[in-house]
Amino acid sequence: MTSNSRPNVLVRLWLGFWRGLTAFRMAVFNILFLIVLALIIRVLFFSSDEIMVDSDSTLVIAPEGTVVEEYTGTPMERAIDEALGQEQLETRLRDILAALDYAAGDDRIVQVLVRTDKLWALPPGMQTELADAFARFRDSGKQVVAYGGMMMQSQYMLASMADEIWLDRDGLLLLEGYGRFRQYYAEGLDKLEVDVNLFRVGEYKSAMEPFIRNDMSDADRRASELWLGDLWQSWLDQVARHRGLPVEVLVELTENYAGAVEAAEGNLAAMALDRGLVDRLVTRPELRAELANSGTSDPEHGFRQIDFRTYAKAARQWHPRADRVAVIVAQGAIVEGNQPPGTIGSESTSRLIRRAAQEDRIKAVVLRIDSGGGSAFASEAIRSELMALKEAGKPLVVSMSNVAASGGYWIAMGADEVWAYPTTLTGSIGIFGFFPTFQDTLAKIGVHTDGVGTTPLSGALRSDRALPDSARTLLQSFIEHGYREFISLVAEHRHMAIDQVDEVAQGRVWTGTQAQRRGLVDQLGTLDEAVASAARSAGIGEKYELEYVQRELSPVEQFFVDMAGASIRMAGVDAMRGIGSWLPGDLGRRMLDDLRLVFTQAEAGRPGVMAHCLCEAPR
C-alpha cells in the first residue's frame, strides 16, 4: 500500500525558505565571482597608464607627511595601515622631481601651486634637491605660487622656492631654528635595575648615551653644536637667497622672533608680510579666483588642476632598449635578513644589488643612501655585494640623502664616487656593542637564576644573569677590533692613512661640507648630478634611462593589495591604540623605538654590535 502522506505545513515552509535562501546565496556569490573576474581581466588586459591632462591646468604640489626616498613598508602593509587609519603619511621625493621636470616643457601646465599645510617634515638634504628642481621649472617662465595657513620652517623652506608666497589672512609663520633634543633613560633604567652593559670606541660615539646618562655629554654637545650650526646657517642662506633678503635680516628676526610678534600685537600673518617673509595675505576663495584668472576656471575646484602624484605617472617615459643607470634606494635602519622598503636588509638589499649587476642594460649604479646605520654585520654584507658589483665592471656612485652616517657611511665608502649634499649628516665612523641584563629587575619580584656550565662563558650571554668579567673583556676586545676594521676599510677606500681616518672618526658626525673638507666625500651635489656622473663613468653620455631597482608588484598582486585594504575598510575594523598613542606627536614613537632597541637586543640572546649614529636630520 502506497502512502500519500506529505510533510506538514511548517516543514514545507521551512524547506521552501531554505531552498530560496540557498538560491539567493548562490546568486550573490556568482555575482561577486563575476565582479572579481571582470576586475582581474581588466587589470591583466585592459589597464592603461594614460593620464589625461587638460590644457591651461595648474599643477598642484601638496606633499603630505614627511618627504622620503621610498615609502615605508610593503604595499600590502601600507594598504592595511591606510584602511585602519594608521598609515604613515609620506611623499616620495622622486614624484615631486619628476612632476616638476616634466611640467617645465608641458604646454598644458601653465603654473604650479605649492600647498604646504599637510607637509610635516622636509629634511635639510632634500631641500637642496627640491630648490634645484624648482629653479629649473621657473626657468621655463611659468609661475610658482606657494600657499599655506600655518607654516613652520619646513613648510616655509618649501614655500620659499616659489616666485611668491601667499599666506592665509588668519595664518601664522613660525621659525624656531634647529635643535637636537631627546630623552635620556639612565635614571629610569636604574629604577628598573637594568644593566645596559655598553661597549664602545670613540670619544664622540654618543649613540647609546641616552641609556647611560641623564643629560647630553660635553663631547656630544660640542659635536652637535658644530654640525647643527652648519645646517642652520645653510637654511638661513637658502631662504635669504630664495626671498632676495639679506641674511642678516633673517638672523636678526629669528634671534628675536617673540619680540617681532609682540610688536605686531600677536598678528603673525601681518608680521610676516611686514618683514617681507611673504608676499600676500589671501583667503582660500581669493586664492582660487587668482589661480582661475591666470589659468582656467573649474566649476568643481575653482581652477583647473591636476595633482602631482597623478601627473608624475604621465611623466614616466620608458624606452626598453635604452641603456640604463640604476638607482637603488637604501633608506632606514640597516638590519640583517629580508626587510620591507624603508628598512635596509642585508639580504633584500643585496638581492637588488645582484639584480643590477646581472642586468645587461644597466650600465652603472647609483646607491641612494638615507640611513643612520644599524647592524655592523649587515653593513659589511652589503658593502661586500657592492664591491662584487664593481668587480663586474659597473661604475658605482653613492648619492647621500639626508643622513649617511656610521653604517650608512660603511656601505658608502667603497664607491667610485661619493656625493653628498652640503647639509647631509655623515661620518660617525665607529661602532658600539651593548647587552642589557635584567637579573636585578627579576630579583625585585623574587625571581633568581642559577645553574651550572661547562666553561667560563657558559650562560654568560643570558639576559637574566649579570654579565661576567670574562664576557666583558671579550666584548670590549671585539668592539675595538671592529673599530680598527672600520677605519682600515675607510683608509683603503678613501686613500687615507689610518691615523688620518682616526682623527676624523671617533664616532663624530659631520655635515656634507665638513666631510668633503676631511676627505670622506668626493663631490657636493644633487642626485641628478650623481646619476649624470655615473653615466659618464659608464661611457653612455646623456642617452640613458633612469631605473629604480625595486621589487615591483604584478597586476594580480596589486589587485589583491587593493582588495585587502578595501575589505578592511568595509568590515569597519578599528585599530587598537598602542601606548605610544597616549603621548603627544611622535614623542611616543621615538620613546618606544629607543626602548625597543634595548629589549629586543636582550631577547635576541646575543650582544648588539652596531654601527649607528642614532641621529636624525633636523626638521
- Which of 154, 379, 406, 463 is an active site residue? 406
- Note whether residue 380 is domain-resident: yes
Percent of the chain residues topping a pLDDT of 90:
64
Q: How far is CA 540 from CA 50, 98, 381, 384, 534, in A?
A: 30, 22, 30, 26, 9
- Note whether residue 211 is domain-resident: no
Catalytic residue flag (residue 406): yes
pLDDT above 70 for 174: yes
Last residue of a domain, one of 254, 286, 314: 314
Question: In terms of domains, do 558 and 440 share one?
Answer: yes
- Note whether residue 307 is domain-resident: yes
Beta bridge partners of 324: 362, 545
> What distance in Å separates the CA atoms of residue 100 and residue 308, rounded to the nearest whole number?
8
User: pLDDT category, 574, cuts 50, 70, 90?
Assistant: very low
Last residue of a domain, one of 283, 314, 345: 314
Question: In terms of domains, do 467 and 503 share one?
Answer: yes
CB neighbour class for 23 (10 Å; exposed up to 12, middle 13-18, buried from 19): exposed
Q: Phi and psi dihedrals of 207, rounded to 5? A: -55, -40
Range of the domain at 604: 319-574+585-612
pLDDT above 50 for 1: no
Kindly give, in sequence order, each residue whose CB lies less than 8 Å from that of residue 347, ignoring residues fewer than 6 positions away.
Answer: 336, 337, 338
Question: In terms of domains, do 174 and 122 share one?
Answer: yes
Tens-digit pLDDT profile for residues 97-132:
999 999 999 999 999 999 999 999 999 999 999 999
| Own/partner long-range contacts of 81-87 (Cβ < 8 Å, ≥24 apart) | 82/565, 83/564, 83/565, 83/566, 83/567, 83/568, 83/569, 83/573, 84/568, 84/573, 84/574, 84/575, 85/575, 86/575
Question: In terms of domains, do 391 and 281 share one?
Answer: no
- Residue 550: predicted pLDDT: 87
Kindly give, in sequence order, each residue whose CB lies less than 8 Å from that of residue 553, ignoring residues fewer than 6 positions away.
Answer: 75, 561
Highest mean pLDDT among 503-512, 555-564, 568-577: 503-512
Question: In terms of domains, do 357 and 307 share one?
Answer: no
- Residue 572: predicted pLDDT: 46
Question: In terms of domains, do 326 and 450 share one?
Answer: yes
- Residue 559: predicted pLDDT: 53
> What distance in Å separates the CA atoms of residue 201 and residue 272, rounded to the nearest whole number?
48
- Which of 160, 205, 346, 401 is an active site residue? 205
Q: Which residue has the higher pLDDT, 274 or 29?
A: 274
- Note whether residue 213 is domain-resident: no
Average pLDDT taken over every residue of the chain:
86
Question: In terms of domains, do 249 and 329 share one?
Answer: no
pLDDT above 70 for 84: no
pLDDT above 50 for 223: yes
- Tell me the mean pLDDT in the region 597-610: 59
- Look at the alpha carbons of 108, 113, 114, 116 in this order and tell me if their dihedral is positive or negative: negative
Beta bridge partners of 307: 60
- Note whether residue 619 is domain-resident: no
- Residue 617: predicted pLDDT: 78
User: pLDDT category, 568, cuts 50, 70, 90?
Assistant: very low
Question: In terms of domains, do 261 and 352 share one?
Answer: no
Beta bridge partners of 433: 199, 609
Kindly give, in sequence order, each residue whose CB lies less than 8 Å from that of residue 39, ignoring residues fewer than 6 positions away.
Answer: 559
pLDDT above 60 for 403: yes
- Residue 607: predicted pLDDT: 64
Per DSSP, the chain holds a count of helices (H) and strands (E) of: 22, 25
> What distance in Å separates the CA atoms of residue 408 and residue 67, rounded to the nearest whole number?
19
Question: In terms of domains, do 403 and 510 share one?
Answer: yes
Considering its fold, how many domains does the chain have in total?
2
Name the E strands within 252-387. Answer: 280-282, 297-298, 302-303, 305-307, 324-331, 334-335, 344-345, 362-371, 373-375
Question: In terms of domains, do 292 and 399 share one?
Answer: no
Question: In terms of domains, do 340 and 483 share one?
Answer: yes
Q: What is the CATH number of the domain that holds 427?
A: 3.90.226.10
Beta bridge partners of 169: none
> What distance in Å separates the CA atoms of residue 413 and residue 410, rounded to the nearest whole number?
6
- Residue 611: predicted pLDDT: 79
Question: In terms of domains, do 456 and 417 share one?
Answer: yes
User: pLDDT category, 35, cuts 50, 70, 90?
Assistant: low
> What distance in Å separates the CA atoms of residue 411 and residue 306, rounded to the nearest whole number?
39
Last residue of a domain, one of 261, 287, 314: 314
Report the first-to-last Cα separation within the chain, whole angstroms. 94
- Note whether residue 407 is domain-resident: yes
Catalytic residue flag (residue 444): no
- Tell me the mean pLDDT in the region 213-242: 93
Q: Which residue has the higher pLDDT, 48 or 619?
A: 619
